Amino acid sequence: MSDRSSTGGYDPSGIDLDAWTKLEQQLEQSIPHYDKVNHWMTFGQDKVWRKNVRNHAEKGMKILEVGCGPGSFAEDLVGLDVTCLDPSAEMLRVAKKRVDSARASRGEGPAKYVEAIAESIPLPDDTFDRVFCLFSFRDFQDKKKGLEEIFRVLKPGGQVVICDAGKANWFHGLAGRIWMATVVQIIARIITKEKDHPWKGLARTYSHYGTNGYYRKVMRDVGFEDVQGRLLLPFGMSSRFRGFKPKR
């Protein structure tokens, strides 16, 4: 099966601007219930996945989180120099409150916040030891451009770690689409108590999303080394991609 068939005919390389603008509105509407819906739709695995990604950082490292959303991941980055990037001013406002208060409770200074898209990161080359992307890669308008920018801002020898909904192949993608269209919709309906909740639209980003093999190839084309991208067990609901920027 081709990569297009795994997305029901959509282009896995990106999302057009109109669809992305609508998606951003839906993401902002999801903020009040974001963590709770994630928790139930993943059987609590979201916390395990976040810890898995966090464990790639070592004390004192410079970290960039691309697509930080409301700060669900960044608040638990301890002992690190953290920069949170997101295109949504509202997401950044919520993240700043949450992340900086968690940091203050640990005696740490505030994180830095950047309003931008992954495809155009307004930060210098060779800056970060790690770039993390959790559940935001799927939303990039242009996946390759986003990866090129992440590659540029990583220090030589630095690593990117991406965690997002898993799609191993066409068959797995079909199972995921059914899950998103049924169980996730019921959970979101119960939690939000709204008929027109944002997860109606958010499920669509999974349909557009490509397979692990497709994005492993894009990462290699961008220049990442030791590229890996596989489903996280035991449930296979999410995938983790890793790659290094070559040392000079």
Ligand X SMILES: C[S@@+](CC[C@H](N)C(=O)[O-])C[C@H]1O[C@@H](n2cnc3c(N)ncnc32)[C@H](O)[C@@H]1O
Task: State the DSSP H helix or E strand holding residue 86, giving kind and residue range, or none if neither.
Answer: strand 81-86
CB count, 10 Å around CB of 19? 16
Query: Tokens 């931008």 correspond to what residue?
Result: 116
Determine the interface stretch with ligand X among 63-71, 99-107, 154-162, 192-200 (rule: CB under 6 A): 63-71
Among 7, 29, 42, 72, binds ligand X (CB under 6 A): 72
Rounded to an integer, what distance in angstroms lies between the CA atom of residue 23 and that of residue 5? 22
Among 88, 159, 238, 239, binds ligand X (CB under 6 A): 88
State which residue, 165 or 168, has the beta carbon closest to ligand X: 165
Among 118, 147, 153, 237, binds ligand X (CB under 6 A): 118
Determine the interface stretch with ligand X among 4-12, 139-147, 183-191, 207-215 (rule: CB under 6 A): 139-147
Rounded to an integer, what distance in angstroms lies between the CA atom of residue 40 and that of residue 69? 18
7 near ligand X (CB under 6 A): no
Asked whether the beta carbons of 110 and 102 are under 8 A apart, the reply is no
196: its two tokens: 């027109």
Among 3, 100, 129, 139, binds ligand X (CB under 6 A): 139
Nearest distance in Å: CB 179, ligand X = 17
Rounded to an integer, what distance in angstroms lies between the CA atom of residue 135 and that of residue 123? 22
Return residues touching ligand X (CB under 6 A): 24, 27, 66-69, 72-73, 86-88, 91, 117-119, 134-136, 139-141
